[in-house]
Amino acid sequence: MTRALRLLRRRLVGSIFVLLIVVIGSFLLLEAAPGDAVDAYIVSTGGDAGMIELLRHRWGLDQSELTRLANYLWALLHLDLGQSVTFSRPIRDVIFERLPTTLILMGSATAFSFGLGSALGIYAGARPGSFRDRFLSVGSLALYAVPGFWLGLVLIVVFAVDLRWLPIGGIETIASAKTGFSRAADIATHLVLPVSALGFIYIALYLRMMRAGMAEAWRQDFVLAARARGLTRGRIVLAHVARNALLPLVTMLGLQSAQMLGGSVVIESVFAVPGLGRLAQEAVAGRDTPLLLGIILVSAVLVIVINLLVDLAYAFLDPRVGAGEASA
């Protein structure tokens, strides 16, 4: 436990510098992009030169870039993300209204892809070189090549438009007044298609990694020792081969969290899911730089937290991991 806490402390210290780089880099990149919130507002509603000057002063856009960056960093120290230009509300409130939806989508897709992918990888790697091994390897490669947005559109056409088994989009039925288990079931029904579109691609990745890890584990000496003790093939697969092949998948789980979050942006747009992805799209359309910065910051924190949890899980599964860092 002490080693894990020391490892966590070192990771947290490094994460502060990572967040600082993300915030400053994102701010400078967004400032370099053409147009701002005033331009988007004037295009949509119209206005004269006096209105433009008033809006720039109200939103602080008449200040220098360095001054705005310093003010933004000072506000972040007080946990203030600023005011959204598009929604005329505190950014913190807007983001935390949408964040649970993205977390549900990401968590469901991760559990779906990791669970099914690792199970299929164990099934394929239990007998390397067999027909099922080759079939699943080729099938996973084909699945990994499919774009997520295209798969999402195909799922909508087949299961929502033609068969009408599932809703087209959204996170729940609007104005349904459902509560408790009924509402949970309604949300689960709406999540089937977006979770499938987001998770199927990563199923292929976890399957191939698990299969490759098991193929490597079969050649290790501990497998020969297990066979010499007379253990059954099923026990060797589950207790020895699969367990050792699982460690790289845990590492990949943390590395893929950023890609999973990026993929959820596209999937949320395809299925009209009101999460951070849709919010980022609305912020870009409205040139709402403070809101977009807040979304990037929260997303970076989310990825860092996931990787911290993965590091702790890896250290728990393999006591050798992080021992040198924790004692340093």
Tokens 């250290």 label which residue?
Answer: 315
Q: Which of 90, 124, 157 is the last residue of a domain?
A: 90
Q: Are residues 105 and 40 in the same domain?
A: no
Looking at the domain assignment, is residue 291 inside a domain? Answer: no
Q: Are residues 116 and 242 in the same domain?
A: yes
Q: Are residues 128 and 272 in the same domain?
A: yes
Looking at the domain assignment, is residue 261 inside a domain? Answer: yes
DSSP state at residue 170: S
Contact at 8 Å (CB) between 95 and 298? Answer: yes
Summarised one tens digit per residue, pLDDT across range 226-277 is: 777 777 777 777 766 777 777 777 777 777 777 777 777 788 888 888 888 8
Cα(79)–Cα(19) distance, integer angstroms: 13
Q: How many CA atoms lie within 13 A of 196 on its CB side?
A: 17
Q: Are residues 207 and 253 in the same domain?
A: yes
Residue 165 dihedral angles phi and psi, to the nearest 5°: -85, -30
Q: Are residues 108 and 236 in the same domain?
A: yes
Domain that holds residue 40: 1-90
Contact at 8 Å (CB) between 114 and 249? Answer: yes
Summarised one tens digit per residue, pLDDT across range 8-47 is: 777 777 788 888 898 888 888 877 777 666 766 666 666 6
Looking at the domain assignment, is residue 306 inside a domain? Answer: no
The answer, yes or no, to whether residue 122 has pLDDT greater than 60, is yes
Q: Are residues 240 and 277 in the same domain?
A: yes
Give the per-residue pLDDT at 43. Answer: 60
CA-nearest of 223, 195, 233 to 101 is 195
Question: pTM for the whole thing?
Answer: 0.77
Instruction: Work out how many domains the chain is built from and give that number.
Output: 2
Cα dihedral: 76, 273, 151, 295 (round 10): -10
Summarised one tens digit per residue, pLDDT across range 163-182 is: 888 888 888 777 666 777 88
Q: Are residues 7 and 66 in the same domain?
A: yes
Summarised one tens digit per residue, pLDDT across range 180-197 is: 788 888 888 888 888 888
Q: Which of 90, 116, 146 is the last residue of a domain?
A: 90
Q: Are residues 193 and 245 in the same domain?
A: yes
CATH number at residue 158: 1.10.3720.10
Q: Are residues 125 and 261 in the same domain?
A: yes
